[in-house]
């Protein structure tokens, strides 16, 4: 799994997302069991390619597998849904998160702001502050750009 994941990550980081997607599909054909790192890498590829159906299939497989989702995996799902322009799915995933970090909040705020839902983004920014999560530069930039 480590070699496969390294190759997927390398393709993805070098802008070769289609090759990364093909390699992830080959992993499935070969019966390679994906670990969390591989799944996050593949979700990032889905996000970059706006492959909503593949991302949803991976999410469904995660749920069916019983694999416990951590904040990194959940952030990858929120990111994937948001980059695929599925705002409702992104928000649903965000709302289901047991634990949210600054990345979780910033991703969702940015999604709202970039898609013209400024009031929702500002409300999330307010909620983030009320929860004691310190905004990062990206959160501030998203709010200021609105």
Can you give the pTM of this predicted structure? 0.86
Mean pLDDT of all residues belonging to the chain = 89
Question: What does the alpha-carbon distance between residue 132 and residue 118 come to, in Å, rounded to a whole number?
Answer: 21
Spatial CB neighbours of 61, under 8 Å, sequence gap ≥ 6: none
pLDDT tens, residue by residue, 90-109: 999 999 999 999 999 999 99
pLDDT averaged per 10 residues, the chain (length 146): 84 82 84 82 89 91 85 95 95 96 95 92 95 92 81
pLDDT tens, residue by residue, 23-43: 888 888 888 877 788 888 889
3-state secondary structure of 73: helix
């Amino acid at each position: 799994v480590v070699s496969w994941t390294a190759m997927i990550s390398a393709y993805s980081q070098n802008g070769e997302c289609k090759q990364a997607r093909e390699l992830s599909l080959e992993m499935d054909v070969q019966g390679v069991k994906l670990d969390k790192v591989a799944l996050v890498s593949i979700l990032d590829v889905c996000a970059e390619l706006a492959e909503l159906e593949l991302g949803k299939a991976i999410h469904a497989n995660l749920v069916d597998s019983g694999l416990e989702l951590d904040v990194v995996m959940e952030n990858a799902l929120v990111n994937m849904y948001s980059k695929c322009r599925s705002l409702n799915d992104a928000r649903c995933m965000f709302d289901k998160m047991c634990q949210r970090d600054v990345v979780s909040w910033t991703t969702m705020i940015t999604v709202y702001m970039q898609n013209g839902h400024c009031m929702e983004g500002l409300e999330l920014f307010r909620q983030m502050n009320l929860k004691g999560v310190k905004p990062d530069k990206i959160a501030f930039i998203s709010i200021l750009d609105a």
